[in-house]
Chain A
Amino acid sequence: MEAAAVEKAEGLAMYKLILCLRYLRTRYIALASIISVTLGVATMIVVNSVMSGFAHEMHSRLHGILSDIVMESHSLNGFYHWEDELAKVKEVAGDDIQDVTVTVHVPAMLSMKIRDQWMPRHVTLVGIDPESYAKVSDFTQYLKHPANREHVDFDLKESGYEGDEGSPLRDAGWGHRRGKVMYERELEMQLSQFREFEETGRWPDQDLLRQKRITQPAPIALVDHEEEVAEKAILPPFATDPGAPPLPGTRPEELNKMANAELYDPNKKGSDPFSSRRGLPAESTYDPLQHQATGLILGIAIGSVRDRDQTTGEVKDYFMVLPGDDVKLTFPTAENPPKAMNATFTVTDFYESKMSEYDAAFAFMPLDQLQRLRGMIHPEHGTAISSIQIKLKEGVNLREATDKLRAAFPPATSPYRIQSWRDLQGPLLSAVEMEKTILNILLFLIIGVAGFGILATFYMIVVEKTKDIGILKSLGASGGGIMSIFVAYGLSLGIVGSGVGMVLGLLFVVNINAIASVIEWITGREVFDPTVYYFREIPTIVEPWSIAWVVAGAMLIAVLASVLPAMRAARLHPVEALRYE
């Protein structure tokens, strides 16, 4: 028992520890060789944390307004009897599904009037049922009006849209709408005076004009702060803008002439197609001061441009439309071949998912309105939809659920495409993964190169210590004991190197935004341009396991690099080693 204990204990002898520590303290060249390991470890930790932060941010943003699984019809016209399909979906994967909703997706062209120009934007128009859609995706979280975040509807709010300090979003809403309409009317009135003067050579009767103003319906206060609203109506924000252009289009007097001429009748000349409406009170016709068109929720990048202020250099959003403005949408009807359908909508809110791709792509409107406009309501078959959106329960495997549904609706026989949000963003996600993998390989190669530095340094140290190795052997130290001194030396260098590297890396990660701003200050260039990346701070996630792997890998490399020199030391012949000078 005693002898066995001695043999065992010899693996852990004191002289190895003492010599290992002394070498560590006196051989600074070895510490220099470990600096590359330190830098490698620090860089790997920083890169991994930033990449993880990016990936996580991207995942949450990519997923953002998408539901987990989309079951989409191939046809633009959608499909009827979707209730049956929904029942089948629930039957197949009911245990995995938390919520479902149906939507209509259709490509559309959005036209915004900016000053005197109509500006088109391509959007995907999505008809949603606000109640159930809110349960299926995180879409509502990104809305700008707090009431919409609570409970989304398509009604224009009086005010209260949230935006940065100085953002025009803060003034958006009914107040903005009334002010703009009033301004446009006033502008029209003023312009007509000039036109009349130009044509007739005299100014129009001011009394008549005043009367005309009075006959226009007064703005209706929808909220309590009547005075404020009235004030805004009298002096709209752009009334004082010298750059505001005159309104284009048909001249108002011509319009008046056309309206008063009672000339349109396909059968009888001189009949009035609107005669039935002329008798109605003004409130029941569409008046932009009192009414809104169908609500539309736009992605923030559709209605605005994010750019740098020329003078201050700050990143700002420049809005082309605001909640309260009317826009026009052109989209195909659900027939073959499709015809273009036009409709006016009122922007009621913006969403900002911080994913520029999505923020520039989708416009949401009520599902029933879209179905009506596109002719997707059939007297016998009911309504048509174009996709079923599914939210899975927490912890359900996305891929498995998708496969289950694909098996139930085989692509060969069913007219649906079933995709998870990951499939939709597959190339992007795999590109990010790939980038991370390649960076890790490259950086680990750096540590590998550092390993060769350690190898060379250790060989030098072994040669330098040849005599000491001979002495230790003559005193009875075994080859294994000598070897373990050098391997332990390598390990402790690895521990020191990767430990310092870990601390440096973590410090860097924690203070990365401060460091980025220092670099910005020095170079005068922004490290992460918010107009490109859509976030103002660099996101980082410290993954303890990946750090553990990096540190363990670096230590392993240090040990491996010391094994060869250690073996050489162990094999030295004691007599020759003693003779070495």
Chain B
Amino acid sequence: MSNAESQGMSALEIRLQRESVLPDHEARRKELTGPHINTAKFAQPAAVAKPTPSEKKKKPLLETRALHKSYRKGRLTIPVLRGVDFAAEEGKITSIIGQSGSGKSTLLHLMGTLDTPDDGEIHFANTRIDRLSSRQRDSLRSRAFGMIFQFYHLLPELSTLENVLTPIMISHGMWRYWSARKQFRKRAEELLEMVGLSHRTTHKPRELSGGEMQRTAIARALIAQPRILLADEPTGNLDEKTGGEIMEILKRLNREQNLTIVMVTHDSSIAAQGHDIIRLTGGRVEKQ
């Protein structure tokens, strides 16, 4: 630890790394660029031991305590979250369901460190993350969280493959990226193959259908080997059949790679496919 401290890392980063929230860079790079790449292995960083079922129940991976958030609209303050206690257990699909304006997207954004709560705490892998500096949050987003959105949010200037590679490009310096670009590309191609888009790697997002774009977004969310996938209405903009395919991919990821998924939806049939279902009403969690 003293060694790490001398290398200019903050105590928190060291703690995050030690608890495998932030992966050790070198180990991570080796793993990412190593000669034997097994797609199934990616979701689970090597440093983290596979949790036993008993541990799973005790330790939620992502947890909020008495979370408050309100938005200002002129002079009015509109409360969105009014004390949300939420826990997503490792290796499970947790659905958050609620009507429009119930605060489910806000909750997801807060958990994804895109926004800061007014009050309350957010814990990720036993570390409080709502008070992190913006740099630490950026680092967390690019390495530990994968996010997918209702409107896919792909960059229109980049091809499918480049979109998938974006998180890697963000978290790696140009030199590191350049020296390992072949492995990264290979991995991105494997991920696209997994979501069934290997024939569309050079297409721009505007040439893709909605389902294809969402699959690209999933591949992008997975490339940095996140510990948790945050999905904001992943099927909200798709028809039933395509949405079902997307859900199949997510369920397969959870099943095969033990990926923790938190999913926000207003569709109860989608929500029902998760292991745990949490209902948000008026900024509070409704007991089931």
Whole-angstrom CA separation of A10 from B154 in the bound complex: 22
Residue of A nearest to B137 (CB): A476
B8 to A4, Cβ gap below 8 A? Answer: yes
Bitwise, A539-573 to B at CB < 8 A (1) or not (0) is 00000000000000000000000000000000001
Docked complex Cα distance between A12 and B169 (Å): 10
A476 to B112, CA, bound (A): 10
Interface residues of A in 456-485 (CB under 8 A from B): 467-468, 470-479, 481
- Of the candidates B13, B155, B171, B174, the one whose C-beta lies within 8 Å of that of A471 is B155
Nearest opposing residue in chain B for A476, CB measure: B142
A394 close to B (CB within 8 Å): no
Residues in chain A near residue B167, CB distance under 8 A: 475-476
A412 beta carbon closer than 8 Å to chain B? no
Contact residues of B between 151 and 207, Cβ < 8 Å to A? 153-158, 162, 166-167, 169-178
Which residues of B lie under 8 Å from residue A467 when comparing CB positions? 153
Assuming the A-B contacts A13-B172, A575-B114, are A474 and B147 also in contact, with contact meaning beta carbons closer than 8 angstroms in the complex?
yes
The residues of B that contact A11 with a CB separation of less than 8 Å are: 173
Q: How far is the CB of B32 from chain A (nearest CB, A)?
A: 13
Contacts of A468 in B (CB 8 A): 155-157
- The answer to the question of B7 belonging to the interface, with a C-beta cut-off of 8 Å to chain A, is yes
Which residues on B sit within 8 Å (CB–CB) of A3?
4, 7-9, 13, 25
Chain A proximity mask over B236-263: 1 for CB below 8 Å, otherwise 0: 0000000000000000000000000000
B55 contacts the other chain (CB 8 A): no
Q: How would residues 233 to 268 of chain A score, 1 for a CB under 8 Å from any chain B CB and 0 otherwise? A: 000000000000000000000000000000000000
Main secondary structure of the interface of A (DSSP, over half): helix
**Chain A CB within 8 A of B134 CB:** yes
A440 to chain B, nearest CB (A): 38
With an 8 A cutoff between CB atoms, is A314 at the interface? no
Interfacial chain A residues near B177, Cβ < 8 Å: 13-14
**B172 A14 Cβ-Cβ under 8 A:** yes
Total residues of chain B contacting the partner, CB 8 A: 42
Query: In the complex, are the beta carbons of A473 and B174 less than 8 A apart?
Result: no
Q: Is B215 an interface residue (CB 8 A)?
A: no
Q: How far is the CA of A520 from the CA of B154 in the complex (A)?
A: 57
User: Is B166's CB under 8 angstroms from A8's CB?
Assistant: no
Is A2 interfacial (CB-CB < 8 Å)? Answer: yes
* Docked-complex contact B172 and A475, CB < 8 angstroms: no
Fill in one digit per residue for A1-45: 1 if any B CB lies within 8 Å of its CB, else 0.
111111111111111011100110010000000000000000000
- A351–B157 CA distance with the chains assembled, in angstroms: 70
B266 at the interface (CB under 8 A from A): no
Tell me if A578 is interfacial: C-beta within 8 Å of chain B: yes
Contact between B170 and A15, CB atoms less than 8 A apart: yes
Q: Is B267 engaged at the interface, CB distance under 8 Å to the other chain?
A: no
Contacts of A8 in B (CB 8 A): 173
Q: How far is the CA of A468 from the CA of B162 in the complex (A)?
A: 14
Indicate if the CB atoms of A476 and B169 lie closer than 8 Å: no
Interface flag for A173 (CB, 8 Å): no
Chain A residues with Cβ under 8 A from B26's Cβ? 2
CB pair A18–B9 under 8 Å, yes or no, is no
* A478-533 at interface with B (beta carbon < 8 Å): 478-479, 481
Q: Which residues of the partner chain A approach B220 to less than 8 Å between Cβ atoms? A: 475
Docked pose: A220 CA to B7 CA in angstroms: 104
Measured CB to CB, the closest approach of chain A to B124, in angstroms, equals 14
With A and B bound together, what is the CA distance between A26 and B158 in angstroms? 11
Closest to B17 in A: A3
How far, in whole Å, are A248 and B167 apart by their CA atoms in the complex? 103
Known: A476-B142, A478-B138. A14 touches B178 (CB 8 A): yes
Set of chain A residues within 8 Å of B162, measured between Cβ atoms: 18
In the complex, chain B residues whose CB is within 8 Å of the CB of A13: 169-170, 172-174, 177
Q: Tell me if B169 and A10 are in contact (CB < 8 A).
A: no
Inter-subunit contact B157/A472 (CB<8 Å) = no
Tell me if B92 counts as interface (CB < 8 A to partner A). no
A574 located at the interface, meaning its Cβ lies under 8 Å from any Cβ of chain B in the complex:
yes
Contacts of A18 in B (CB 8 A): 158, 162, 169
Q: Which residues of B contact A (CB under 8 A)?
A: 4, 7-9, 13, 25-26, 106, 109, 112, 114-115, 134-135, 138-143, 147, 149, 153-158, 162, 166-167, 169-178, 220
5 A-B pairs, CB-CB below 8 angstroms? A13-B172, A13-B174, A476-B140, A476-B171, A578-B114
Additional pairs, 6, CB under 8 Å, beyond known A10-B173, A578-B153? A13-B174, A14-B178, A471-B153, A473-B114, A475-B167, A476-B171
